[in-house]
Structure 1
Amino acid sequence: MKTLPTYDPTLFEGAAESYAQYRTKYPSEVFAKLTEIFHINGQGRLLDLGCGPGLIAIPLSNQFQEVIAVDPDPDMIEEAKRQAQIAGRNNITWLEQGAELINSSLGEFKLVTIGRAFHWMQREIVLERIYELLSDDGGFVLLNTNENPWESSLPWKQAAIRIVKKWLGEERRTGQRGKGIRTPVDPPHEVLIAQSAFARQEVYEVSFEKSWTVSSYLGYLYTTAFALKIFFGDNVEPFEADLKQALLEVEPSGNFTEEITASLRVVWKH
């Protein structure tokens, strides 16, 4: 029997506001592609799981009659509400709970989205629950972007990770206020989906250019589960000085660009 995981409230501790500001936003072409694939017309309902500060729920909310957005982190939910108010979107209901706890009381949905969060979930349980909540003509999509600095060949990103390792150690941290160690997702998402009740899956990609400054990239690092600001304690200032020096040695202008690919793993119920 599968058991529900206990959510680690420190996973993104203190990062909600910065997450909304510095995390890479999905380009409008991503949402246009979803609208095309699922024939979205302003009707129906969207369920966004692991919603964070609303990076998917808010821009997609004008394509649906109603949106339910779920996240276990109370700070993320509060920031999402703030961002929705700024955007003037009032058709979103924000729920502070784990994705594993969704059930039929939420009603039926045309589309379920998960952005950069599926790996934090008890995936088998979430897949089963999503399947039960989708309309027959619906599906779900995993959205991701490939700017992970741990896997980058860009010299400036490699420099950034070198400095993170200098201050936090060689292993990639996650959770438990920095004491947890990241482990690979096994099996991969696509394998788990293929073993589920869903009928088929396909990947679509949208490429775009992203620009960073030293300041904005530092802000990004502080939103990651491996380099939250709280991990550095009294060493915040020397870490920041080290990072700035390392980045400027690679690119003295302090302006950095990269080509990012947003991937959409689209999964149909039937």
Structure 2
Amino acid sequence: MTVDFGRTSHDYARYRTAFPPELFARLAGMGVGLPGQRVADLGTGTGVLARDLAAAGCAVTGVDISRALLDQARRQDAAAGLEVDYRLAPAEDTGLPGGAFDVVSAGQCWHWFDRGRAAAEAHRLLAAGGAVVICHRDYLVLPGNVAEASEDLVLAHNPAWRMAGGTGIHAAWTVDVAAAGFRDLETFSFDIEVPFTHEEWRGRMRSCNGVGATLSDAGVAAYDAELARVLAERFPEDPFTVPHRIWALVARRGGGPGRP
């Protein structure tokens, strides 16, 4: 299945929800995302994570392979009065200088990388004692809820889709960073309720990798029309809330004060 988020960049920029403030508060308590820190944000997309880190006072360089997503990121940065330096490059080979960053972050994208190579690149980019941060937010598929119904529709329109039914916990990614030489691994997660109008949820699902990033324009329109019908018939409350899980991994590059 060929995935191209550039095809759904408008919906992605408009309807993907931001990470909640609690995530950044927890990361700050771990010494990550502090004012003045130099951050390389891999797979930055429309700049969702990069913008919040820039708003916290970090100097952020965002890297992505999609020119369309980076164009959306720049528009949103301008509207927010923030500045991020964006580069068109893959996460596995950014071309950025080694040892030049205090934090390497990746939000909602680690699963798209060649993970071993991306972890090695993160290690190369970081100064001694720097931190890699992998963050993810997943809607939770529960029996009878709108997320389950929406994913059932994705599978009906795109039977090749293989990313349905996630739990929001990504333990395998700890192996990626450990194998790259990171240490002091810590993970945490928490659940939140995110409000959506019918229009917003339809936009969110159109930006799904199994819909807008893979189906034809006609296929996306057919999915969207059927989802609108399901929402009206089965989930008429507007707006409604959808449970989400926030998950994060923080690990350190060796060589900091008192560390090998």
Query: Normalised by the size of structure 2, how large is the TM-score?
Result: 0.85
Which has the higher mean CA deviation after the structures are superposed, 62-71 or 77-86? 62-71
Q: CA deviation at 1:219?
A: 0.4
Q: Which runs of 5+ in 2 are unaligned?
A: 164-169, 255-260
- Report the counterpart of residue 160 of structure 2 in structure 1: 171
Distance 1:157 1:65, change over 3 A: closer
Check the 8 A contact 1:156/1:251 in 2, yes or no.
Answer: yes
- Report the counterpart of residue 93 of structure 2 in structure 1: 101
- Report the counterpart of residue 118 of structure 1 in structure 2: 110
Q: Percent identity?
A: 24
Check the 8 A contact 2:40/2:103 in 1, yes or no.
Answer: yes
Q: CA deviation at 1:205?
A: 2.2
| Two-structure CA RMSD over aligned residues (Å) | 2.4
Q: Which runs of 5+ in 1 are unaligned?
A: 1-7, 175-185
Check the 8 A contact 1:18/1:219 in 2, yes or no.
Answer: yes
Distance 1:229 1:121, change over 3 A: closer
CA distance in 2, matches of 1:17, 1:231: 15
- Report the counterpart of residue 198 of structure 2 in structure 1: 214
Q: CA deviation at 1:106?
A: 6.1
Q: CA deviation at 1:235?
A: 4.9
- Report the counterpart of residue 21 of structure 1 in structure 2: 14
Q: Which letter does structure 2 place at the counterpart of 1:95?
A: R
CA distance in 2, matches of 1:187, 1:36: 22
CA distance in 1, matches of 2:46, 2:111: 18
- Report the counterpart of residue 180 of structure 1 in structure 2: none
Which of 174, 177, 180 is the matching residue for 1:190? 174
Distance 1:201 1:18, change over 3 A: same
Q: CA deviation at 1:123?
A: 1.3
CA distance in 1, matches of 2:63, 2:222: 37
Q: CA deviation at 1:220?
A: 0.7
Query: Normalised by the size of structure 1, how large is the TM-score?
Result: 0.82
Check the 8 A contact 1:248/1:254 in 2, yes or no.
Answer: no
- Report the counterpart of residue 265 of structure 1 in structure 2: 249
CA distance in 2, matches of 1:228, 1:207: 26
Check the 8 A contact 1:104/1:133 in 2, yes or no.
Answer: yes
Distance 1:65 1:192, change over 3 A: closer
| Count of residues in Structure 1 that have an aligned counterpart in Structure 2 | 247
